[in-house]
Amino acid sequence: MDFLRPASWEDALAARAERPGALPVQGGTDVMVELNFAARRPDALLDLTRVGGLADWDTAPDGRLRVGAGVTYARLIDGLGDRLPGLAQASRTVGSPQIRNRGTVGGNLGAASPAGDSHPPLLAAGAEIEVESAARGVRMIPVEAFYAGVKRSALEPDELIRAFWTAPASGPQYFSKIGTRNAMVIAVCSFAIALRPEERRVGTGLGSAAPTPRRAAAAEEFLSAELDWDGGAPVSPAAARRFGELVRGAASPIDDVRGTAGYREHALAVMARRTLAWAWNEHTGAATREAS
């Protein structure tokens, strides 16, 4: 098996175009498992860890963060936790310290597992994925269009993921994950919420609840109209229940070794209500402090 080690982004794109059978590798925490278990036998590996800039982030002129595909969970938690709290909260649940020191959001996107923990917060925040090929240049993909099926994405064979773009949080963001224990666990199901008070919008993301990560669009519409954005009135129990039911309705889970479809649906409704309470309490607490 060849091991390709481009030192620049341009060389990486050229190698990707010339060797479509080469498997990109970032932190290797998915790739190495697949190789060790002979789930894949690529004719080459395309190591991206020497490509400058992939492990950095910056702020674009429009105020959004552009976070390189090679930023590890550990660095994201330390360096961006204040601006991307939902994604940082999800990142803290990934694997173990060793996995968080190697694994990246770019790799999570590349793997496109319905259970990947970065997907719900990226969906809730309305992120965009920057991908590029040598032949056609840059393409920006709204994150919800990125997931194409179980472990399949919209990435073309000659494209690489360069970064994801997302606005710094303008309101509370929360992530909740059900697992069979507290660490080193693939989500039975997961849920993310993001409040965007300046747009009076609510964002959501569901994980391990359908063939792809997905938003709960009807739940977002309902809650965006229901919340008392100016007055900060408490969310009524009926509205919270309805939100939970709409989130549950957006899921199409399966029975598998980690849980039944029925359990996942129930858990999603609970997580939706719970994260809504956390987020709204934080938002109204902040609103009260500003007014006083």
Ligand X SMILES: Cc1cc2nc3c(=O)[nH]c(=O)nc-3n(C[C@H](O)[C@H](O)[C@H](O)COP(=O)(O)OP(=O)(O)OC[C@H]3O[C@@H](n4cnc5c(N)ncnc54)[C@H](O)[C@@H]3O)c2cc1C
Q: Which stretch binds ligand X (CB under 6 A): 25-33, 217-225, 243-251, 282-290?
A: 25-33
In angstroms, give the least distance from the CB of 118 to ligand X: 6
Nearer to ligand X, 86 or 106 (CB): 106
**Cβ proximity of 277 and 240 under 8 Å:** yes
Nearer to ligand X, 99 or 239 (CB): 99
Q: Using CA atoms, how far apart are residues 159 and 151, in angstroms rounded to an integer?
A: 16
* C-alpha of 259 from chain center: 21
In angstroms, give the least distance from the CB of 116 to ligand X: 4
Residue 35's contacts (CB-CB under 8 Å, 6 or more residues apart) are: 41
**3 state SS for 85-132:** HHHHHHHHCCCCHHHHHHCEHHHHHHHCCCCCCCHHHHHHHCCEEEEE
The one-letter amino acid code at 79 reads G
Q: Binding pattern to ligand X, positions 179-198, x when CB under 6 A?
A: -----x-x------------
Going by DSSP bridges, is the β-strand pair 189-196/201-207 parallel, antiparallel, or unpaired? antiparallel
In the chain, alpha helices (H): 9-18, 31-36, 73-80, 85-92, 97-102, 105-111, 119-125, 143-146, 217-226, 237-250, 261-291
Residues in region 103-122 near ligand X by CB under 6 A: 103-104, 106-108, 110-111, 116-117
User: Which structure tokens are listed for 71?
Assistant: 């930023």
Nearer to ligand X, 90 or 227 (CB): 90
Contact flag: residue 23 with ligand X (CB under 6 A): yes
Contact flag: residue 69 with ligand X (CB under 6 A): yes
Contact flag: residue 89 with ligand X (CB under 6 A): no
Task: Indicate which single residue of 4, 13, 26, 271 sits in contact with ligand X (rule: CB under 6 A).
Answer: 26
**Cβ proximity of 274 and 162 under 8 Å:** no
Q: How many residues bind ligand X (CB under 6 A)?
A: 30
In angstroms, give the least distance from the CB of 233 to ligand X: 36
Residues in region 126-165 near ligand X by CB under 6 A: 160-161
Task: Indicate which single residue of 13, 15, 22, 30 sits in contact with ligand X (rule: CB under 6 A).
Answer: 30
**Cβ proximity of 208 and 115 under 8 Å:** yes
Q: Which stretch binds ligand X (CB under 6 A): 88-96, 212-220, 242-250, 263-271?
A: 88-96
Which residues contribute to the site for ligand X (CB under 6 A)? 23-31, 33, 48, 69, 93-95, 99, 102-104, 106-108, 110-111, 116-117, 160-161, 184, 186
